[in-house]
Structure 1
Amino acid sequence: METEIGNKVGTVRSTDSSNNSVVTVKIGYIGGGSRGWAHTLINDLAQCTAIAGKVFLYDLDYESAKRNEKFGNWVQEQDGAVGDWTYTAVEDRAEALEDADFVILSTQDPPAETMAHELDIPAEYGIYQSVGDTVGPGGVVRAMRTIPVYRDIAAGIREHCPDAWVFNYTNPMTICVRTLYEEFPDINAFGCCHEVFHTQEHLAELVAEYLDVEQPPRTEIDVNVKGINHFTWIGEASWNDRDLYPLVERHHEEEIRDRTFEPGELDDESWFVDNQLVTYELFERFGTLPAAGDRHLAEFVPWFLSVGEPAEVQSWGIRLTPSEYRVERQEEALSKFHDPMNGEEEFKFSESGEEGVDMMRALVGVEDLKTNVNLPNVGQIPSLPEGAVVETNALFSQGSVRPLTAVDLPDQVRNMTFPHVQNQETMVEAAFAGDVDLAFRAFLNDPLVTVSIDDAKSMFRELVDAVRPYLEDYWDLDEPAVLD
């Protein structure tokens, strides 16, 4: 059972859609040179007729924003583009934010200078990370360098568009959203993540397989979402009021329980291969279904990644994403922008499966939407600290986002989750104080830091030195006690 427990109210100009008129809005995109989320947004907006307007793209890499401006306006000229949008790259962030109705955040520091180190240095100490962007040594250091950036973004929103609705897509999701609220408590921000969507899709597949019906769309799968980003859980799942947990149990017994993989067996598979062994292991042990991909789930507990050799992780049906992929994919991602415009590839509109535009439509009053988002805890999950960012369902409607209560986490799941919540709170406190020593406490408390204290200090020192240019806001960077 879910109930509404809160009300975040914002304003969007021209929200009266009762006569089916098109609502005109301004979108400010911070990280507007994005090679991932921007492509999705452009695709989705072009297919939306209920809202129209202008998208202002701001990025530290102005040329990347100009590329997306060119692509966005080119897409608007294609057959099937029924939306009315124009894209403009700007060099001044204030111009993108001024009087914006919606703000999109999807930022990333250069992986070669940051994420590559955050994966490779821990691996030298025998700590392997399947993603490295949320928790673990990589997630902690990524948080250290991301919080000051998001603090500055929140200040800009407070100055230029305090009533805007702010959509965050950047990881570490929880840290980013928490920082926005810490800097600007009256902000209307939430974090968007599609991991739960994949779980709904899996449950829809089980409906088709075991009930012998046509597979329903994932949106027909009703789930009660609870947890923190990338460590989310589903207490209840249903389709047409039918409980789906018996299907989950059956699938585990018939398909998953005896599924095994040998080290090296997945070498030719995608880096993102997911055989659901981690998901169903956690389901079997704790009686609640996780609602995130195995690569993310594995990093929240030490059991799945505690191996002698990297290839041994494959016994859990996943692969480690190497640093070289994180670097190389930046160039590979450009092809989906350039090739269609150059005539080297046919452009086709797609159903992205993302809900950002649907959220906008709900907020301007077109159609209500219930979906999972990351918001500060005001009672959605009673056993987790108030104010900490949690992921549950919420109801989007005209001018408001109302979080919904979730059935509380089982005791054992809460016990696994609580240390991460505390660490995330500590990371925000450390960054706002510029205190490297306090950040190191969170680093030590992360469940993946399974090395000796001396090795932990050494590893942390190497990581800090590797990304030092991104940590200028820490006053004790040169003389923290931990680096003595």
Structure 2
Amino acid sequence: MHRLGGNSRVQSRPSVKIGYVGGGSQGWAHTLINDLLQCTDIAGSVSLYDVDYESAAKNAKLGNRLADRSDVSGDWTFEARRALDDALADADCVICSIQDPPEETFVHDIDAPQEYGIYQTVADTVGPGGTIRALRAIPQYREIAATVREQCPDAWVINYTNPMTVCTRTLYEEFPDINAIGLCHEVLEVQRFLSEIAETYVDGAADVDPDEINVTVKGVNHFTWIDEAYWRDHDIFQYLDRELEKRQPLPGFEPGDLDDDSYWTNHRRVAFDLYDRFGLFGAAGDRHLAEFVPWYLALDEPAEIQRWGIRLTPSSARVGGNEGPAKMNRYLDGDEEFEFTESNEEAVDIVRALVGLEPVKTHVNYPNRGQTPDLPTGAVVETNAVITGGGVDPIVAGELPREIRSMVMTAVNNQETLVEAGFEGDLDLAFQAFLNDPLVTVRRDEAQELFAELVELEHDYFEAYDLDDAAVLQD
């Protein structure tokens, strides 16, 4: 993200109401509290809504307690709300960061496909897991959009939830006049990587700020591409060939080499292989990129994925433990002090821009208004944009090379089909997208069996769908 200047010296702080959907979060909610309480030029209130009201109430208690500390300059109050309507009433901004209980959903999204030989590195955007997650999310995001329409139709909605594209697209399908963007960290991490490339290859470059790396972003979330990268007046993209040569052979690890590494390790071998084959650099982590094509995850043994410098994410890593709630209790009991940090998150800077303070340039997920002219109008795409008090102005990114466009269009078509299926409650239509997913490489009857199994395992999350008349669920 780049601040574009402007006058941050204001006579009084603009007052902002933020409605936070998913306000019981034990992770991102703390980041938002951290950032707001360090912000000196806007003030206001945060209404936290969560189906787990007690968790939202604890976050509100934490936020208000921290606001009273002598080292805090931000002027914010926090309140938990039991009803979504109340949380969003008259909001200026709505932030969405929600997740179904992983042990009821994510575990099945990962484990069931493995029984059919389908392996996923993330399972939250595409693949069998991403498809089922999208179907669960669509009814939830329809409710959010409908509530925005009734309670705060002029608010800006900032979505962090995956699958990013489907969730953001659903907001617009339910309420076409909504103001919404999706935010993702993946391009920011690529900017950080490219700052290291600048330091390596540009004479005299040192301590390059990732925010100074200007990239041209195009594609869809987690399958995003860049074809230009500049640091000041230096073309960084030209150095990728030299870096590629240094990294050969790309599938250079052996199974077992990464057993002691984090499940989220990323050596950018997939991104460089895609660059080597297609000429553009994948602007997301390898774990995401690998799920959009059929070849990296065509494995006989799960450990083989380590050849590409990444690991499969087991369902046990998604369930996690009790560290989040335990840390919250330590904060509230006074056993551990909350430490303010520089989070590098964008939400607060974007809110500042939208109320007319410093404009920012960043990458967003936003309906295609021509910024990617060779992708369908209205489809949610990821490109750069300038955000000001006047709203979001996407920057034209240009067309994708033909073969990359073909791969991206598969994702776009499937996402559009899923949204249509979600609004119609039609699981037979949703199964068409499931079958068309690059990771679903099993026989059609096995794909149907897997789809039906996932729906049955997560049955309680499919109340908005016509289960009785869905042919795909029949034996």
Tell me whether the two structures share a fold, i.e. TM-score over 0.5.
yes
- Select 1:333's aligned residue among 324, 330, 350: 324
For the residues of structure 1 that align with 2:75 and 2:161, how far apart are their CA atoms? 27
For the residues of structure 2 that align with 1:232 and 1:323, how far apart are their CA atoms? 26
Structure-1 residue corresponding to 2:440:
449
What SS class does the counterpart of residue 479 from structure 1 fall into?
A: coil
Give the CA deviation at 1:345. Answer: 3.6
For the residues of structure 2 that align with 1:181 and 1:65, how far apart are their CA atoms? 27
What SS class does the counterpart of residue 457 from structure 1 fall into?
A: helix
1:244-255 matches, cutoff 5 A: 244-255=236-247
What SS class does the counterpart of residue 194 from structure 2 fall into?
A: helix
Is residue 39 of structure 2 the alignment partner of residue 43 of structure 1? no
- Select 2:301's aligned residue among 309, 325, 345: 309
1:3-402 matches, cutoff 5 A: 19-211=10-202, 212-257=204-249, 260-329=252-321, 331-402=322-393
CA contact (8 A) 2:107 2:315 kept: yes
CA contact (8 A) 2:10 2:41 kept: no
Larger RCO, structure (CA 8 Å, separation 6 or more)? 1
What SS class does the counterpart of residue 304 from structure 2 fall into?
A: helix
Give the CA deviation at 1:415. Answer: 0.7
Letter in 2 for 1:448: L
* 258 and 91 in structure 1: CA distance in 2 versus 1, 3 angstrom threshold: closer
What SS class does the counterpart of residue 109 from structure 1 fall into?
A: coil
What SS class does the counterpart of residue 320 from structure 2 fall into?
A: helix
For the residues of structure 2 that align with 1:78 and 1:275, how far apart are their CA atoms? 41
What SS class does the counterpart of residue 80 from structure 2 fall into?
A: strand
CA contact (8 A) 1:228 1:417 kept: yes
CA contact (8 A) 1:147 1:179 kept: yes
For the residues of structure 1 that align with 2:91 and 2:154, how far apart are their CA atoms? 8
* 224 and 462 in structure 1: CA distance in 2 versus 1, 3 angstrom threshold: same
- Select 1:478's aligned residue among 465, 468, 474: 468
CA contact (8 A) 1:235 1:407 kept: no
For the residues of structure 1 that align with 2:335 and 2:143, how far apart are their CA atoms? 40
For the residues of structure 2 that align with 1:192 and 1:338, how far apart are their CA atoms? 29
What SS class does the counterpart of residue 237 from structure 1 fall into?
A: strand
For the residues of structure 1 that align with 2:316 and 2:211, how far apart are their CA atoms? 36
Q: After superposing the two structures, state which structure 1 stretch, 274-283 or 252-261, moved more.
A: 252-261
For the residues of structure 1 that align with 2:251 and 2:111, how far apart are their CA atoms? 30
Superimposed CA distance per residue, residues 160-203 of structure 1 (whole angstroms, 9 cap, x where no aligned partner): 00000100000000000000000000000010001000000001
For the residues of structure 2 that align with 1:336 and 1:210, how far apart are their CA atoms? 42
Q: After superposing the two structures, state which structure 1 stretch, 70-79 or 291-300, moved more.
A: 70-79
Q: After superposing the two structures, state which structure 1 stretch, 338-347 or 28-37, moved more.
A: 338-347
Aligned residues: 467
CA contact (8 A) 2:251 2:308 kept: no
For the residues of structure 2 that align with 1:194 and 1:56, how far apart are their CA atoms? 24
Letter in 1 for 2:314: P
Give the CA deviation at 1:18. Answer: 7.0
Superimposed CA distance per residue, residues 270-301 of structure 1 (whole angstroms, 9 cap, x where no aligned partner): 01000111111011111111110011111000
Structure-2 residue corresponding to 1:3:
none
Is residue 423 of structure 2 the alignment partner of residue 432 of structure 1? yes
1:455-466 matches, cutoff 5 A: 455-466=446-457
Q: TM-score, normalised by structure 2?
A: 0.96
CA contact (8 A) 1:162 1:187 kept: yes
What SS class does the counterpart of residue 296 from structure 2 fall into?
A: coil
Structure-1 residue corresponding to 2:3:
none
For the residues of structure 1 that align with 2:201 and 2:334, how far apart are their CA atoms? 44
For the residues of structure 2 that align with 1:324 and 1:24, how far apart are their CA atoms? 42
Structure-2 residue corresponding to 1:411:
402
Pairwise CA RMSD of aligned residues? 1.4
Q: Which runs of 5+ in 1 are unaligned?
A: 1-15
Superimposed CA distance per residue, residues 403-455 of structure 1 (whole angstroms, 9 cap, x where no aligned partner): 11102111111011001100000000001000010000000000000000111
Letter in 2 for 1:319: R
For the residues of structure 1 that align with 2:233 and 2:24, how far apart are their CA atoms? 43
For the residues of structure 1 that align with 2:233 and 2:11, how far apart are their CA atoms? 32
Structure-2 residue corresponding to 1:8:
none
What SS class does the counterpart of residue 333 from structure 1 fall into?
A: helix
Structure-1 residue corresponding to 2:412:
421
CA contact (8 A) 1:27 1:103 kept: yes
Q: Which runs of 5+ in 2 are unaligned?
A: 1-6
Give the CA deviation at 1:256. Answer: 5.0
CA contact (8 A) 2:269 2:286 kept: yes
Give the CA deviation at 1:257. Answer: 4.1
For the residues of structure 1 that align with 2:29 and 2:249, how far apart are their CA atoms? 39
Letter in 2 for 1:249: D
What SS class does the counterpart of residue 345 from structure 2 fall into?
A: coil
Letter in 2 for 1:460: F
CA contact (8 A) 1:440 1:460 kept: yes
CA contact (8 A) 2:263 2:313 kept: yes
Superimposed CA distance per residue, residues 91-132 of structure 1 (whole angstroms, 9 cap, x where no aligned partner): 111111110000000111111111110110001000011000
